[in-house]
């Protein structure tokens, strides 16, 4: 296991969508990026900038218009912007369907990791958005991924829930060796979770900046104000001005 091993190589990738008027929306043109094995990468950028599209391309859910993505054969765990649980299946069955062969002990551990003890028999319709997001994350981990793709995993949660879930995710990331890509527009998410932050911008999207974060993850909460100064060009999320990100 070499430190320089590549988890994912994106070479000269282009992706366009057809607009209703027939013109093309060019999301990526000749876009190249290499992500390191076992690293946590945050993709940061404005809404509509191409983050979800890039995750979907990496996952193989979308095909590039041109260019190539090379990734070793791997198990992919993914949590989408919307939790996308199967509504007619219990929480436990949602996990079992994603991870066939999941033992009962592993199922319970996956639920417990996201504070879902006792929720296995619930149905998605009974869950708040915060709980549904926890289930979506537990499901992504249940597959024991070596590539974990997370698209705005805390979107639309109030600040307290956002922080709590982020802290739980940080614990799970620390506990398992895997390559992680998190799309977010929240600078604090990136600063608290990532080994590297990739700032995307422009149309078509380009890498505007790359920021390596060497500080141990467990020390970042108390240093968040300092960490934010590493990206003075990127606005902190409104309503998240205080330094205490509440990992407790």
Ligand X SMILES: Nc1ncnc2c1ncn2[C@@H]1O[C@H](COP(=O)(O)OP(=O)(O)OP(=O)(O)O)[C@@H](O)[C@H]1O
Measured from the CB atom, is 51 or 96 closer to ligand X?
A: 51
Q: Tell me the closest approach of the beta carbon of residue 61 to ligand X, in angstroms.
A: 10
Q: Tell me the closest approach of the beta carbon of residue 240 to ligand X, in angstroms.
A: 17
Q: Which neighbouring-strand residues pair with 43?
A: 183, 198
Binding footprint of ligand X on the chain (CB under 6 A): 17, 25, 27, 45, 47-53, 183, 185
Measured from the CB atom, is 134 or 185 closer to ligand X?
A: 185
Residues 237 and 5: their CA atoms lie apart, in Å, by: 33
Residue 24 C-alpha from the chain's centroid: 27
The torsion angles phi and psi of 86, rounded to 5 degrees, stand at -75, 115
Measured from the CB atom, is 50 or 153 closer to ligand X?
A: 50
Computed over its alpha carbons, how large is the radius of gyration of the chain?
18
Measured from the CB atom, is 48 or 235 closer to ligand X?
A: 48
Measured from the CB atom, is 47 or 229 closer to ligand X?
A: 47
Q: Tell me the closest approach of the beta carbon of residue 192 to ligand X, in angstroms.
A: 19
Q: Tell me the closest approach of the beta carbon of residue 217 to ligand X, in angstroms.
A: 24
Angle at 2 between CA 31 and CA 68, to 5 degrees: 25
Q: Tell me the closest approach of the beta carbon of residue 189 to ligand X, in angstroms.
A: 12
Measured from the CB atom, is 48 or 72 closer to ligand X?
A: 48
On whether the CB atoms of residues 232 and 56 are closer than 8 A, the answer is no
Could you list the beta-strand ranges (E) of 53-127.
66-70, 76-79
On whether the CB atoms of residues 14 and 66 are closer than 8 A, the answer is yes
Output the CA–CA distances (angstroms, integers) from residue 21 to 15, 16, 18, 24, in the order listed: 18, 14, 8, 9
Q: Tell me the closest approach of the beta carbon of residue 34 to ligand X, in angstroms.
A: 20
> Helix or strand or coil: residue 40?
strand
What is the DSSP secondary structure assignment for residue 156, as one 8-state letter?
T
């Amino acid at each position: 296991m070499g430190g320089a091993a590549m988890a994912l190589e994106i070479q000269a990738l282009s992706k366009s969508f057809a607009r209703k008027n027939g013109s093309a929306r060019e999301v990526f043109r000749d876009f190249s990026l290499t992500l390191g094995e076992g690293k946590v990468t945050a993709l940061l950028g404005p809404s509509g900038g191409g983050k979800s599209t890039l995750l979907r391309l990496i996952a193989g859910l979308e095909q590039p218009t041109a260019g190539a993505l090379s990734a070793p054969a791997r198990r992919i765990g993914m949590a989408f912007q919307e939790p996308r649980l199967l509504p007619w299946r219990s929480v436990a069955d949602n996990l079992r369907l994603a991870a066939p062969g999941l033992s009962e002990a592993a199922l319970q551990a996956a639920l417990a990791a996201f504070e879902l003890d006792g929720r296995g028999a619930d149905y998605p319709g009974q869950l708040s958005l915060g709980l549904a997001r926890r289930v979506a994350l537990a499901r992504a981990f249940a597959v024991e991924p070596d590539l974990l793709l997370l698209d705005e995993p805390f979107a639309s949660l109030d600040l307290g829930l956002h922080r709590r879930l982020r802290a739980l995710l940080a614990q799970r990331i620390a506990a398992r060796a895997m390559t992680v890509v998190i799309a977010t527009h929240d600078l604090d998410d990136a600063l608290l979770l990532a080994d590297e932050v990739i700032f995307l911008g422009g149309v078509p999207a380009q890498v505007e900046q790359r920021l390596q974060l060497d500080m141990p993850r467990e020390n970042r909460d108390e240093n968040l104000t300092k960490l934010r100064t590493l990206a003075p060009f990127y606005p902190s999320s409104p309503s998240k001005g205080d330094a205490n990100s509440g990992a407790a």
